[in-house]
Structure 1
């Protein structure tokens, strides 16, 4: 059952990433940052919610591992940084290396604090 929850959440997360990046009108770097920060915030909410004793068992597999796992993309972020560095856009690459982890950590912390017991 757990594998089906993860698969269903993953399908929703992948579609969500495709839709959000396509609709945002952002560059590849901006779209990747958007889904990573949003996914981190949602994961914080989900993790905080799942810490409650009354949280259903499907929460983490469906929404955490599945949805958020497929919505976010660390590999996409890594590729954007490498491409910027190879193209000589060092400032862009460095700002991505600092900005993305900082914003995603802030987002997951905020989400967790809003829902944790």
Structure 2
């Protein structure tokens, strides 16, 4: 049983470490998608910079979050969970990309699961 828990923990750690790093780097290249399309018009109007610049900042945050998952899995997983939840709330409030918002909320549950598995004193 313990080996299964460790396997799941390892899979989640690599998933929630690598995916934010890859998505973060792609904010610089826009190979996977045009990330600016996910920025709601309302948010675009209030940020004091171009959408592309904002998305690069988002990319840096994602890269740091992914690295944090590798270095401190419990803390990093909670950061990724929070980040995914914020993204989902922004998408839902914009009324666009609801499918992506739902996916991000499901991914946030997985990140929370990693945090719980990484807890040195599980409840």
TM over 0.5: no
Q: Which has the higher contact order (CA 8 A, sep 6+)?
A: 1
TM-score range, shorter chain: 0.3 to 0.5
Task: Give the TM-score, by structure 1 length.
Answer: 0.40
Question: How does the TM-score come out when normalised to structure 2?
Answer: 0.38
